[in-house]
Every structure is written in C-alpha cells, then in structure tokens.
Amino acid sequence: MSEIALYGIANCDTVRKARRSLDAAGVAYRFVDVRKDGLAADRLRGWVEAVGWETLVNRRGTTWRQLSEADREGVDAERAIALLLEHPALMKRPVVEQDNAITVGWTPETASRWGAA
C-alpha cells in the first residue's frame, strides 16, 4: 500500500477527526496543511479533473460567503482553481490521496476506504 496524503487545515474539525481516526487505526499518512504549505495548481487541476470543482469547493462555508458576489458568480473549473489557490480554506476538507484514488470529505464510508473505520 502506498503512502496516504491527507490535505486540509490543521484547525478544521473534520480534518482533526480524520487525523484522529487514521492515528487510532495505525494508518500511516502525510499531512499537508494547505493554508501553511500551499497547493500546486497542477495538483488542484488533477483533483478537479478527478472529482469536479463542484465537489472540491465548499460553497457552504464561511470562506465562500465572504467572497464578493463577483467572485462567486460564473465559477467554472479554471476559476475554481484560481479561487482555491487564493483562498485554500475554500477547499472541502480533507482531501485524501493514495495512488490514483482521491476522496473529498470524511464520513464513516470514506474512513473505511482508508482503513480507519
């Protein structure tokens, strides 16, 4: 099994829950704090291609609501990538990668996929 990479923000409750779950299950992973470490545009583009920008952008969160109306209108894949690069907290969290598999969010179903049920 190859390395699991968990992308999120350290103080996000869902990310904390995911990390606790992985730790409790003894699953090794690498944590990337997207606010501190940033994200590469190519990685975001790959995620958007894999799951769609609609899945990746958290349009229910505070960061989305704080964007100007102009920024929220007419979002497409390229605009979503630009917004995520500018506002990493806009990302639905966590994003978990392993090999070519990507999961967005943390639920009991996704936890079991990564061995942390």
User: Which 3 state secondary structure label does DSSP give 25?
Assistant: coil
Give first-to-last CA distance, the chain, whole Å.
17
Q: Burial letters for 36-65: b for 16+ Cβ neighbours within 10 Å, e otherwise?
A: eeebeeebbeebbeeeebeebbbeeeebbe
Q: Which of 6, 9, 12, 111 is catalytic?
A: 12
* Known active-site residue 15: no
Helix 41-51 to helix 77-86 angle (10° resolution) is 130
Catalytic machinery residues: 12
